[in-house]
Each structure stands twice: as C-alpha cells, then as structure tokens.
C-alpha cells in the first residue's frame, strides 16, 4: 500500500493516481470482508493457511518419524507396535484438514464469483459506453463528410452486443 502522503501528491487525474485509488479501494473492501467473517470461517482459514506450509510438513515428518522409530526400534517402550493408532490419527486429521480446506475453498469461490460478476458488469457497461461513443463519433464524421464514417464495419460497431447472443455463440462452439 502506498502511504497517504504519496497518494495526495499525485494529480487526481493521473493514471497512476487512479490505479492507486482502485488498489486502495480493493484492499479496503477485502479488509472489510475479512472483518465480517465469523470465527468459524477465520479458524478454517487459519488452519488451511498453516496446513499449506513447509512448517506443517516438517512438524508431521518429525512427529511421525519419532512415533514410528519409538514403536519399531527394539529396546524402546512401544505404545503402538502395529502403528494402528498412528494410522487412525492420520486418517482423522486428514478428514478434518480436507473439511477445513473445502470450507475455505467454498468461501474463496464465493468471493471469486462476486468478483467475476463485478467484472462482467463493468465489461458490459464499458461495451455499452464504447458503442455510444462509436455512434457519436460516426455522427460527427457524417456531418463533416468523412469517408471513414461510411465504412461498413462501423455499422456493426454501432450496434449493442447482447450478452445472451454471446453466451449462445459460446454454447454452440
């Protein structure tokens, strides 16, 4: 994040300022969404985040290694000679870890769906605005007697694109 002092020194109309403003707005929105998470979602996210680290892998390698060695090496006290308890503990842990991962993935998918819907709405709005601009520029060209304004490809650009038509075309292909 850029310091507020650096943001304030840039002209409000500069592209860099607009990008910085958008990034700040997105980060603020994500922080707000994170604050609204319930304790269960935060717990699942924290467990998932830790389970995806090398520290988690090393801790398991160490614990499982000590468990196996202490139960198979002669002369050491054996508490799980057949390693059944180890297998059971690993299975139960796998069940819970996969559940936490699925919970986190579901939340992340919902966020991705919302962002995709936002992107689609912005793209549709942009397409509509660009179509209107092409119409306006074409009318100006007509009034000025420009030959470019009479190009046949402009006829298609002046028409609104219906999202349903695009979806139908994608389905056909």
Q: What pTM did the predictor assign?
A: 0.67
Same-domain status, 30 and 49: no
Quickly state the pLDDT bin for 11 (edges 50, 70, 90): low
Same-domain status, 109 and 25: no
Domains of the chain: total: 2
49: number of Cβ within 10 Å: 12
Q: Give the separation between CA 105 and CA 52, rounded to whole angstroms.
A: 13
Same-domain status, 24 and 47: no
Q: Give the separation between CA 146 and CA 20, rounded to whole angstroms.
A: 40
The SS3 call for residue 120 is helix
Mean pLDDT of 6-32: 78
Tens digits of per-residue pLDDT, 104-156?
999 999 999 999 999 999 999 999 999 999 889 888 888 888 877 667 777 77
> DSSP secondary-structure letter at 160?
P
Q: Give the separation between CA 136 and CA 132, rounded to whole angstroms.
A: 6
| Domain hosting residue 23, numbered range | 1-36
């Amino acid at each position: 994040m850029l310091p507020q002092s650096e943001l304030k020194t840039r002209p409000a109309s500069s592209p860099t300022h607009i990008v910085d403003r958008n990034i700040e707005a997105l980060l603020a929105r994500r922080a707000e969404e994170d604050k609204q998470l319930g304790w269960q979602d935060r717990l699942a996210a924290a467990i998932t985040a830790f389970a995806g680290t090398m520290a988690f892998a090393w801790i398991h390698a160490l614990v499982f290694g000590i468990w196996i060695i202490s139960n198979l090496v002669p002369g050491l006290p054996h508490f799980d000679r057949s390693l059944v308890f180890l297998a059971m503990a690993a299975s139960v842990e796998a069940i819970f870890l996969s559940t936490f991962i699925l919970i986190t993935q579901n939340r992340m998918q919902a966020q991705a769906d919302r962002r995709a819907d936002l992107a689609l709405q912005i793209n549709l709005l942009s397409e509509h605005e660009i179509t209107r601009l092409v119409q306006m520029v074409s009318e100006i060209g007509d009034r000025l007697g420009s030959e470019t304004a009479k190009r046949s490809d402009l006829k298609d650009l002046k028409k609104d694109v219906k999202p349903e038509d695009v979806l139908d075309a994608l389905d056909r292909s």
